[in-house]
Amino acid sequence: MRAVYLDNNATTSVDPDVLAAMLPFFTDQFGNASSAHAFGTMVSPAVGEARRAVRDLLGAALDQEIIFTSGGTEADNAAILSALDNADGRDEVVVSTVEHPALLTLCAHLESSRGVAVKRIPVDAKGRLDMDAYRAALGSRTAIVSIMWANNETGTVFPVIELAALAHEAGALFHTDAVQAAGKLPINLNATPIDMLSLSAHKLHGPKGVGALYVRKGIPFHPLIRGGQQERGRRGGTENVPGIVGLGRAAHLASLHMDDDLNRIGELRDRLERGIAQAVPDCAVTGDPCRRLSNTSNIAFNRAEAEPILMQLDRVGIAVSSGSACTSGSMEPSHVLRAMGVPFTAAHGAIRFSFSRNNVSSDVDRVLDVLPGIVERARAVSLFGKDRAPTTERINS
């Protein structure tokens, strides 16, 4: 039976076309893109073509605004650290409470090691940024704001264009982690005030270990990785040519198919949500129903733990993810759902289903076939079961 992969916000499969584009750069076209001889000059146009494809996906004005990195985490780190290096006396960073650990861990480190003040803006029950708190946090000491374009757990989409304009009014730079947004919604950076943006190839059917940072022309940039003059001196290290070519091809395919993919994926996701709502009592979709990635559904099953649900689904060939992290035997619910104020007994039972263009209608049927029974059994053994703990209020849908 076909395995059902619904964990595409964790990573996607490499598109066969992407793999085919990469393969020659592991074999005959193995040259160093910086070499002056034929082996080098053979591969450097491919790096240029990839840069153009990423630029087109993002609607950036210039190829040189794209810096290739080792992925989203490096791009996020490079953006924040560059802004702080350039900050002219400004020493504060503003982020949301629901950022990815790629940012939150860096921010915690900067606070403890460099005395950087980090302001974390709360979100409401639907995962939307508290705009009053955001406005109040901006000031003459803000060096950079970093708010994600779309949340990886709930799919909630943030109003980054408005947020960037407000950051500029305070004289601060604006960066967005678009690792989950790139390829999943239209982006036209040249028409926005966004200064920097991160993306990652493996979230859009490209390879792992490669990504990009967009830096708008005119924004001063201090490299995170210092070395050779690769990437115009902005990211040292021999270019990962196969990876970059793969990212370029993946970006091109995403641009080409985005509209069709998103509509079809959105229909699958919505059918899954309707089916679950009909068949499983006491559960609710988390996130902002009006502004959400069309591929993501995070459903909190009240009075159940996510882990047994995930494991039972895995046993029948269905891959999903939970927001919980099992640390030393105690299950910690996701920081995103806790920040949204989702009650403990529901946050513990949250499962994320994330689709890609590879999913088909029968994947939804399979989940709907098995999930009601699996949730029922998980509830029967749950620490939060009816007779074991008081039930909480129904979470927001």
List residues binding ligand PLP (CB under 6 A).
71-73, 100, 102, 148, 152, 177, 179-180, 200, 211
Question: Is there a catalytic annotation at residue 283?
Answer: no
CB of 87 to ligand PLP, least distance (A): 23
CA separation for the pair 13, 25 (Å, rounded): 19
CB of 132 to ligand PLP, least distance (A): 25
CA separation for the pair 306, 260 (Å, rounded): 32
Give the CB-nearest residue to ligand PLP: 72
- CA atoms lying within 13 Å on the CB side of residue 178: 28
CB of 69 to ligand PLP, least distance (A): 8
Q: Which residues contact 191 (CB under 8 A, 6 or more apart)?
A: 59
CB of 26 to ligand PLP, least distance (A): 21
CB of 31 to ligand PLP, least distance (A): 26
Shorter beta-carbon distance to ligand PLP: residue 72 or 246: 72
CA separation for the pair 269, 186 (Å, rounded): 19
Shorter beta-carbon distance to ligand PLP: residue 67 or 375: 67
Beta strands in the chain (DSSP E): 4-5, 66-69, 92-96, 117-121, 142-146, 173-177, 196-200, 211-215, 283-286, 296-301, 318-319, 321-322, 325-327, 330-332, 350-354
Shorter beta-carbon distance to ligand PLP: residue 177 or 282: 177
Count CB neighbours of 53 within 10 A. Answer: 23
Exposed, middle or buried, 114 (CB in 10 Å: 0-12/13-18/19+)? exposed
Residue type, 47: V
What tokens appear for 222 in the block?
A: 């201090």
Which residue in 107, 283, 290, 326 is the catalytic one? 326
- Catalytic residue numbers read 326
